[in-house]
Amino acid sequence: QVQLVESGGGLVQAGGSLRLSCAASGRAFGAYVMAWFRQAPGKERDLVASIGRSGGLTYYADSVKGRFTISRDNAKNTVYLQMNNLKPADTAVYYCAGDLNTTPRSGASDFRTWGQGTQVTVLS
């Protein structure tokens, strides 16, 4: 079973950039569809971006399209979320998630393996 650990969160000014990393330990990382979700206080946990097993297929929420880029390096067992032109509305805890039996465009219920999350705070 793959275990996931996020890193790279922190404070950033509006308009700035941040790169999140999700490191996987365990077997068969390349067999997992991976995704980033985020959850702000009092709000639902929403899909931000997802990526297929080989990295060839990606999906982005409309709210981040053109600003965020998801990528993966299966040789390093790592998935990334490059976040550019950050806005205060992007402030949330960001979670890495993966599953063996889903697709790049999926909801939270489709992912069974989760990291602990990393806080991203964007100052106005």
Residues 20-79 have pLDDT tens digits of: 999 999 888 999 999 999 999 999 999 999 999 999 999 999 999 999 999 999 999 999
CB atoms under 10 Å from CB of 6, counted, come to 22
Q: How many CB atoms lie within 10 A of CB 67?
A: 15
The pLDDT score that the predictor gives to residue 26 is 82
Q: Which residue has the tokens 């489709």?
A: 110
